[in-house]
Chains A and B, each alone.
Chain A
Amino acid sequence: MHKARLIKRRLLISFLIICAIAMVYLYLVVIFMPKDTGDLGGAKYYSTQAYKKEQKNSIDLLFFGNSDVYAGVSPILMYQNSGISSFVCASPKETGYSLVNYVKANLKRQNPKLVVLDADCFYYKNDHYHGFNVQSKVMAIAPFFYHARWKELTISDFFTLPTAKADPLKGYLPNAGTSNYKHKDSFMQNPNAQPLEVEKSVVKCLKTIQELCKSENAQLMFMCLPTPFSWNNSKSNGVKLLAGSMGVPFLDLNDPSCGLELDFNHSFKDSGNHLNIQGAEVATRFLENYITSHYSLADHRGEEKYKSWDEIAKNYDYYVQRAKQ
């Protein structure tokens, strides 16, 4: 009897100790997590969370995808010319599989007319660098990962939770620097290549996204931005087949027949992987023309609700200079 009581007492003490440790640790998480997610290394891709700071139901066009998209589509540039309110929701190495959650989260806040998915990420399998996961993993180890923030802590750090930061470039991350792509002559020169099938699990997710869009009255479109580093005719044909079977339009900007005139010597940051500022400008203009000619999206320029957009559009070059990497 005495032994049983002793064991109970020890278990209770152990439980209380674990609780105390957990509470202290959780509070350390609160203190050390950067309150502005754009603050430090590790939360570098804060633009993946920036959509949370956009006004509700203010975006008509949403782009989803991986680094090709945040490097290649500039919503403000598009807004300058056409007044279309768009936003890029992209994070590094995004996969087709993980897009569902990202689309879901956005559709809770926005009521877009058109949703554009980047087809390049349909072929990525591992979900090891998803924007949400980066955030949540870093959050869990914040006291270790961000411990050096003790040097800059303010009183408010002890009482506030992290918040997302608005992105004036609406998810676009401009790439400075140029490194040409040397194999232009052989790129996409095999239009009859065997289609590379998109994995069934990804197709299932894309169909879920299609259903989501339908329920929100948004149209769905697939596209692929110029990325000769990872794209080829087999992938292009694979997505064409899939898009055809799902009844979704597919615009492949890598396809020479699409009409995009891209200078392969000066449009890439890293030898054909990501577009640089110049390449992004060309691709955005092309997309803008395509979208305005195929979809009817409102011109919001001059509207009171979009006053801040007008302001950013006016100082676009300043924001690009500030954000370029």
Chain B
Amino acid sequence: MNDLMTWLFLAFMSLVYVVYMILPKKARPYCLLVFSLLFYVVYSKFLTFFMLSTILSIWLGGLWLNRIDDGEAKKREGLEKEARKALKKKVKRQKRLVVALIIIFNVAILATLKYFNFFGSLFEGFLSWFNLSVHMPILKIALPLGISYYTLSAIGYIVDVSQGRHRAGNLLSVALFISYFPQLFEGPFATYSTLAPQLMAGEGFNSQNLFSGLSKVLWGFFKKVVIADRLAIVVSAVFSNYASYSGLVVVLGIIAFTFELYAEFSGLIDVASGISEMFSIRLAKNFEQPFFSTTVSEFWRRWHMSLGAWFRQYIFYPVSMSQGMMKINKKLAKKNSFWQVFVPSALALFVVWLLNGLWHGADIKYIVYGMYYYVLMMLGMALEPLFNLIYKKSGIDKNSKWVTFLKIARTFILVNIGLLIFRAATLKEAANIFTSIFQSGELNLISLGVIDIYDTIWCFIGVAILLVYDYLAEKKKLPNSQNWHTAGKVAFLIAMAVMIIVFGAYGEGYIPPDPIYGGF
């Protein structure tokens, strides 16, 4: 969001809040839906059609599944065991068909809008190997806001209904679940069973929620405007002209991007969660001090947690529990237990990380980005027995502070390499940037006029604030504001706002960077 968009969004949010609180409880969900759709129409215009078609498809699909379930319950009465079994099988097949139809419909929209050009170019390349020249048409259409987020949420909804985790909702609750405006920019993902009841509850004014929500919103903006947008100056300079800089500066640029992404992404998630909290709605947690992870697997359990949870629930488990996987499991059960765990995990995780990479973008580099983490995790699993043996033989305590610190440092380095692939324009550029780490060049960004000394200092202060905050959160030592006096709370909010206004990297002299996760 640029400066103007930010102010318009804040004004919009304030208006929604006031109107929501004035209205009676029953009308509040309608209020949220109207404003959410209004927000979407203003932002995406005719592309709103795609979101509406997703809403309608899963609502109707849900009702259809309900009907199949209800029909089964009626037919079951008085049936013999064998007949019941046959009915169950038939119903399962019917439900699978419905779910497949809804998923194909929604994935087709996503695939067409987001991946058509990518797969088209891959297809052209593939045919060129056989000296066949085919020109795929190029689709020139903007992506509807949050399409990757709401499509996955929609898939989650229909799968949950089919598996009996909850009944299908009415049109209002389904529409609100998909279109709820704070989470449309960058998530987090939500499940219907946790979000919809809160959206439909229409909770009234709560001063504590207002304060904690506003605090989160301001903290989120602080991370985005003061830290991320300032780090973006360094990142943009280094990544666009890496050959001119020395290895140390390139390393700093890569690290700066890691913190920029974290500050921006977690900041915008905090804004979304904060706004929701003002309405007494709790969104899913998306980050849990990721830079304190000791392994890459742990990092992904602490980073973009709602995406990880979605992949675990709707990709990993179904693949792991599939009939094919069960057969493999049976065969491996005869051999040793290590392979029995390793092989199914490797197969299921391969699908997860391939899709995870693709979800991040329609480009080969994103597939490589996913595969990079997949390979690291597999290596971690494969080498774990070896490391355990080394620890045992050498007598090193693997839980000691130093070992933990080294593990954290190793994970941080690996994550930075992953994010280098993510940030570079192409794979070739990522490789070039990586090799430029070992070359000489200009060392001082300040003397080049890229960034002044004051902004440089703030970059370091910003990163330090992020780390200290996360350290306190990790140690569960963050101050509890619930018992603060009203005056203290107001003073805190004003101080935060002043910090953002004064030290934000916006306006004259700053170029607002595009949201990194905004295109998803």
Chain A contact residues, CB within 8 Å of chain B: 13, 17, 20-21, 24, 28, 32, 40-42, 143-145, 147-148, 150-151
How far, in whole Å, are A285 and B508 apart by their CA atoms in the complex? 40
- B454 neighbours in A (Cβ, 8 Å): 150-151
**Distance in angstroms between the alpha carbons of A24 and B490 in the assembled complex:** 12
Cβ-closest chain A residue relative to B505: A148
- B479 CB–A CB distance under 8 Å: no
Q: Is B509 an interface residue (CB 8 A)?
A: yes
The 10 listed contacts between A and B (C-beta, < 8 Å) are A20-B494, A28-B502, A42-B508, A143-B501, A144-B507, A147-B501, A147-B503, A147-B506, A148-B507, A151-B454
Tell yes or no: B486 within 8 A of A by CB: yes
Task: Report chain A residues within 8 Å CB of B503.
Answer: 147, 150
From A20, A21, A32, A148, give the contact of B509 (CB < 8 A): A148
Does B1 count as interface, using CB distance less than 8 angstroms? no
Closest CB-CB distance, A203 to chain B, in whole Å?
A: 38
For B7, give the chain A residue with the smallest CB separation: A144
Given contacts A42-B508, A151-B452, A151-B454, is CB(A144)–CB(B501) below 8 Å?
Answer: yes
Q: Specify which of A42, A145, A151 lies most central, judged by the most chain B CB atoms within 10 Å of its CB.
A: A151
Cβ of B10 to closest chain A Cβ, rounded Å = 12
Q: How far is the CA of A28 from the CA of B494 in the complex (A)?
A: 12
Given contacts A28-B501, A144-B501, 17 further A-B pairs with CB under 8 A are A17-B490, A21-B494, A24-B494, A24-B498, A28-B498, A32-B502, A41-B508, A42-B508, A145-B508, A147-B502, A147-B503, A147-B504, A148-B507, A148-B508, A148-B510, A150-B454, A151-B452
Q: Are A13 and B486 in contact (CB under 8 A)?
A: yes
- The answer to whether A150 touches B502 (Cβ under 8 A) is yes
B512 to chain A, nearest CB (A): 14
Distance in angstroms between the alpha carbons of A49 and B502 in the assembled complex = 27
Task: List residues of chain A with CB within 8 A of the CB of B506.
Answer: 147
> CA separation between A21 and B504, bound complex, in Å?
19
Closest 9 CB pairs of A and B: A151-B454, A147-B502, A143-B501, A150-B502, A17-B490, A24-B494, A148-B509, A147-B501, A41-B508
B379 CB → nearest A CB, Å: 47
**CB closest chain-B residue, reference A153:** B502
Complex contacts, B504 vs chain A, CB 8 Å: 147
Interface readout for B492-503 with A: 1 if CB under 8 Å, 0 if not? 001000100111
CA distance A144 to B509 in the complex (A): 13
CB distance from A17 to the nearest CB of B (A): 5
Query: Nearest CB to that of A10 among chain B residues?
Result: B207
Q: How far is the CA of A42 from the CA of B509 in the complex (A)?
A: 12
Residues in A neighbouring B502, C-beta threshold 8 A: 28, 32, 143, 147, 150
CB distance from A247 to the nearest CB of B (A): 48
> Which B residue's beta carbon lies closest to that of A31?
B502
Chain B residue with the shortest CB-CB distance to A21: B494
Query: Which B304-333 residues have C-beta < 8 A from chain A?
Result: none
Residues of B within 8 A of A24 (CB): 494, 498
In chain A, what residue has the closest Cβ to B3?
A: A144
In the assembled complex, the Cα of A165 lies from the Cα of B313 at a distance in Å of 67
Among A13, A28, A32, A147: residue with most chain B CB under 10 A: A147
Give, as a whole number of angstroms, the nearest-CB distance from B74 to chain A. 51
Rounded to whole angstroms, the CA-CA distance of A235 and B503 in the bound complex is 50
Give A148's nearest chain B residue, CB to CB. B509
Compute how far the CA of A3 lies from the CA of B494 in the bound complex, rounded to whole angstroms. 29
In the bound complex, what is the Cα–Cα distance between A42 and B507 (angstroms)?
12
Q: How far is the CA of A20 from the CA of B497 in the complex (A)?
A: 13
Contacts of A13 on B, CB cut-off 8 Å?
A: 486
Q: Contacts of A20 on B, CB cut-off 8 Å? A: 490, 494
CB-CB under 8 A from A148, the residues of chain B are: 507-510
Residue of A nearest to B457 (CB): A151
Residue of A nearest to B453 (CB): A151
Closest to A41 in B: B508
When C-beta atoms are compared, the residue in chain A nearest to B504 turns out to be: A147
User: Nearest Cβ distance between residue B97 and chain A, in whole angstroms?
Assistant: 56
**Which residues from chain B contact A144 at a C-beta distance below 8 Å?**
501, 507
Distance in angstroms from B451 CB to nearest chain A CB is 12
CA distance A53 to B454 in the complex (A): 34
Q: Give complex CA distance A147, B501 in Å.
A: 7
Give the CA-CA distance A145 to B507 in the complex, in Å. 7
In chain B, positions 461-520 with a C-beta closer than 8 Å to chain A are 486, 490, 494, 498, 501-504, 506-510
Residues of B within 8 A of A17 (CB): 490
Residue of B nearest to A32 (CB): B502
Q: How far is the CA of A32 from the CA of B507 in the complex (A)?
A: 14
